[in-house]
Chains A and B, each alone.
Chain A
């Protein structure tokens, strides 16, 4: 999946000459936390985040508020040389950028111009969609040995039951190095016969438990 499929194309941005007060109002009105700062040619020259603004403002506990700070231009507080992305970047790649650089948003640039923005929340939602958790489904977790062809053996059982698989996640087993956990979402309300057949084939079905089994 590439970035242009998930990015927000309605981007709220301001100019370096706009004031902190204007930024505060815009963030509040649109319920957002990041503002790319662009020049007249719509090129990104900086970024102002909610945290930059908080750092610039005096403590709300101070008795004498210094209103003058609100009139300062954003160019005084914006971060320059920011990390940006491209519409053709892979979503997995930018996820790593978010994680490694501990950033909250990524302005997306094409032809030198600001064309979109992706936030950490967008990435998280994208992940939820990948898991299929927003579609009617049952969830089955299976512990399998980490060997070639095992996924084929497992999905054969689902095929036999004509059950549509919405997503398959494979993740390492924290207890046993030589095992993997398969987390499968399947579009079926009655998974009992599938679970029974998986067990017959010798697979270790972790969840759902049969009623009456231990926690």
Chain B
């Protein structure tokens, strides 16, 4: 990797990329993708006293040239026009916009470019050594394709950011995606690239969108062996999820030897999430960043960028889950016990569901899963299939 000016001195441990202009990425009041979760997260961190004003960095807006690193110019033009009200749903449809999933909204290009810009800002801080780690929770829009929007995602900030880090910093990037949906957009962008490794752990595509992410998708051409997929069964619980995550992450990072780790932190593998069927609890959201943090220090001199992603229970799940990323990133003790009462009192009236009053979930949140043993066994088999290639090289 190329040395960069200022690389030797690290100014900060971590930066939190955020500004209210990231809230402009909004489809409608009833759409499940709702960036109010950013407001709720920031407020929760503030009430906890865990987010220092000096650590907050304003995201920049991505330039057209930067967006074109991951997207076609024809598609970008359509998005710009759509945001100005110049095209109909029918005209947008072949580009995936104007659909029920990804409706047209005013200034959608600018809003999406702010999301991409936030992730690029995070990359610059980390790659220039201005911070060890950076979080852009507004990012993580992993379904965006080169020439088409898909699954609530317009521009794919992770794809653009990885291309950007390859070009500007000559970096070898490991991307790990724990969103409950397959990280298809990022995977296909680097499917034939041996210098980018993508790992996605997701609910099997048997019923869930996007349906891809089979364990046999391993990359193509020179990139064969640098895409990893771990499709886990519906009703998977904490233990099995974490076994797969930690084992796969450790072995792959050791095998691939990246310069930097980019984690996509969709928070929709939780039991409460309305769109998916996994049975995770807050325990996985405590462990996911902890292990990423540890491995970043072990293998990448600390370089770790975290983006958000899915997460559709914006009241009970996302604020707690994403707060834990930031406390982990800044070496603060993981909060436990009750949530700040000011936060609960402020938001409960607006929430359609009763908020969970503690950092961890209550025990007996759900009834026992009848086929737990089989599900665990099947997930473990998937893990072995996914790692088969790198294990056989090592032995």
Contacts and interface: CB of A to CB of B under 8 A. Distances in A.
B211 A136 contact: yes
B73 interface: no
B371 A140 contact: no
Contacts of B151: 136, 189
Interface in B159-213: 181, 184, 205-212
B388 interface: no
Nearest to A132: B211
Contacts of B235: 215
A136 B209 contact: yes
Contact of B276 (A162, A207, A211): A211
A151 interface: no
B277 interface: yes
B220 interface: no
Interface residues of B, number: 33
A189 B152 contact: yes
B274 A192 contact: yes
B99 interface: yes
> Interface residues of B: mostly helix, strand, loop or mixed?
loop
A161 B209 CA distance: 17
Interface of B: 32, 89, 93, 99-101, 143, 150-152, 181, 184, 205-212, 234-235, 271-277, 366, 369-371
A34 interface: no
> Interface residues of A: mostly helix, strand, loop or mixed?
loop
A134 to B, nearest CB: 7
A212 B271 CA distance: 8
Interface string A124-161: 00000000011111111100000000000000000001
Contacts of A139: 205-208, 211
A211 B210 contact: no
B99 A188 contact: yes
A104 interface: no
Contacts of B275: 189-190, 192
A214 interface: yes
Interface in A180-198: 185, 187-193
21 contacts: A136-B210, A137-B211, A138-B210, A139-B207, A139-B208, A140-B207, A162-B89, A162-B99, A188-B99, A188-B209, A189-B150, A189-B151, A189-B209, A189-B210, A190-B152, A191-B209, A192-B32, A208-B234, A211-B273, A212-B366, A214-B370
Contact of B209 (A137, A141, A211): A137
Given A162-B89, A164-B93, 4 more contacts: A139-B205, A163-B100, A189-B152, A190-B32
Contacts of A214: 370
A33 to B, nearest CB: 19
